[in-house]
Structure 1
Amino acid sequence: MFTSPSTDAVLAAIRAVSGTAGALLIVKNYTGDRLNFGLAAELARAEGIPTEVVVVADDVSLRETVEPERRRGIAGVVLVHKVAGAAAAAGASLAEVAREASEAAAALGSMGVALGPCTVPAAGRPGFTLGEGEVELGLGIHGEQGVRRVALQPADALADTMLSTIVEDRKVGRGDRVALMVNGLGGTPPMELAIVTRRALAFLAERGVTVERAWQGTFLSALEMPGCSLTLLKVDDARLARLDAPTEAPAWPGRGQVVTRRQVVPTRAALPTVKGHPKPQPMMPRVRAAALAVADAWDAAEARLTELDSKAGDGDLGLSLARGAAAIRALPEEAWATPSGALTELGQALRRNIGGSSGPFYATALLRAARFLASKPADAAAWAKAFEVGVEAVSELGGAKPGDRTMVDALHPAAVTLVRAVRE
């Protein structure tokens, strides 16, 4: 693992894939790779196979340690492969493909950060250890340690550190056009990579750099290492055409076009907001007290609801209802003026604050009940019927009936009992 292929293995690959046009070897700048690929290229040429070698040394974290040609090759090599592959597919000669690949390699800058080590299977132990709250900056792709160890920082700060180093080293400035690649090191989920991507795009925009293309994903990993690397490649129209060229490579994520302007399309009509009557109806203090009692019950049951939902679902019900309780308490005084208005405000508040399926269910029930009470005198019979139509709305929305082992199994008997009690 992480060891260069042997000269014979590289030579066998050259023989297997080369036609009369020859072969291009794209090599990351490590001693073993350069030696084995370089010797294989010599042997291939001796056999009459035209062979060129392009070395990628894009790791800018070593900028203060070694000269540019001695830097390591890391994730930016993926973009060199894309440029070279597109040039070859377009019919360019071996010399032209090698030139484009070499120019792309010279326009690259990359830097990585690890939140933890990886474990090489043969070794059976992590390649290095990090203390509590430490990260490794400027690492390679073979699980080795980085250039320096720093305290754990927010994702935005780490992205800024890496990009500041890249743009300074590669002299990327206002008016330049670049392609951005956010690469996961193997143990970083897409959601966390998206946080870094968001900041990287903002960082470059703040400096007047145009991000023509951006990709996010795991392109060059270090086994299960948690962390990421950032790559910038300067581009012009010709290089963009190579990056945009179609490919059948299954892991290539597509053209990576960046949306620079977001357009928010308003809905046809905003949901109504009930301002309430300046003089509350006499029953409304009791309605408000009942709603606040529900909020207290949700808070008291948060831990138990979380435990139950962890066994049956994703474990977020307790937290969701606690947020709903806070939303009920935050309703203004004027929201409690009329029955219909109060139920509408409750429905809107729960819709906005309770996640998952519970929020839509509660909101639908309350909004349906509010519409029923809007044109009715709010006596006991009307309240009971409003509860019944609210339960019917929940059943319609979710498609559940009594006996399906859903919340309808609790709501439906309660509605039937309430309606019957009021009639008697």
Structure 2
Amino acid sequence: MKVLIIGGGGREHAIAWKLNNENNVNKIYCAPGNAGISDVAECLNIDDSDIEKLLQFAKKEQIDLTIVGPEIPLVNGIVDEFEKQGLKIFGPNKECSQLEGSKAFSKEFMIRHNIPTAKYKEYTKLDEAINEIDSFGYPVVIKADGLAAGKGVVIPQNREEAIVTLKEMMSDKKFGSAGDKIVVEEFLKGIETSILAFVDNDTIVPMVSAKDHKKIYDHEQGPNTGGMGTFSPSEIYTEELSKEIEEKVLNKTLEGFKKDRLNYKGILFVGLMITEDGPKVLEYNVRFGDPETQSVLFRLETDLHKIIEAILENRLKDVDIDYKKEEAVCVILTSGGYPESYEKGKIISGLENLDKDVVVFHSGTKMLDNNLVTNGGRVLGITAKASSVEDAAKKVYENINRINFEGMHYRNDIGIEI
């Protein structure tokens, strides 16, 4: 079968890597891809948000299955457009993708279906938000309603910081039109975790758990990023907690889809805070998380394309999904200055010196004058598995010591107690 993967980051590299190791997948294309993905797929000079060009390519090349990595094409309705042309595509449609595309839509869905979440209020007027901000207490969570590349959530510690954040989002348009409406939430105390799930119209199947680290510095310090590393399984994801999340969150979410007649087929990412009162949903994403995917797919034993085909045919309940017993760690190497401004084009060296069982998922790389260079904020995901998360982390960090590029930054505490 011929597969087209849409996107060009670490998540898409993990998907391509997994499919490349499966029978029946003869040819993989990736649009636009990156330097690492080009080792396992043919990369196309098509932007991942150019739905028309992607559609033309899929028709011309008679692609059997298209898999959408990032959220923007999903929110913009790529699934609806492909399905109109009779093409097989994996991901939720435009209506369902509002669960990620609009924080307000998502919160309203949770409240309507009695899914535990933080108290919140929506605002479109800056003055009203400033007048009421103290009522939430501090710290407080302020979210841009629309898509902001994983950076539209800010947690001010006091009134002064909150007012600055509100002005940046609503008045200065730091995140563009994503801040036309904002959501203010109470700050939840607890341990953050997430779960990815396969979903069709009748079934929701959680994948193995993963813990994501969003803060740029060790010990959860500094601003939020798109993700600095993950490990799987999450240390807090006990059998008891798993059952509670399935009952209070996943099953209620599936029931909500049915009640609202949302034809949800694809991946659902659920961001959770485990509080004293139990699990509460922080957010939904409508696609594989990045970098959670790098750890989770690294452990997935069952063929991914078989699971996807089952979802599209509404027979997910008939598939046995197995994972390797080994535990996995992925540590992200970023450009200096990320998540704020950073330079591209720094030469990357040392990848040829890594252990053979370590896999490097490329997030932001390209080839320039026969050199592998940086081409994004998040650059590489160094990934390994072992009998325990701690052993996998040691293996990852031993190998990171062999890699170098100017300004290279990473956290030293992913999967390790320091």
Same fold at TM > 0.5: no
Name the one with the larger helix percent. Answer: 1
Return the index of the structure with the highest Cα Rg. Answer: 1
Task: Identify the structure with bigger relative contact order (alpha carbons < 8 Å, sequence gap 6+).
Answer: 2
Instruction: With the length of structure 1 as denominator, give the TM-score of the two structures.
Output: 0.25
Instruction: With the length of structure 2 as denominator, give the TM-score of the two structures.
Output: 0.26
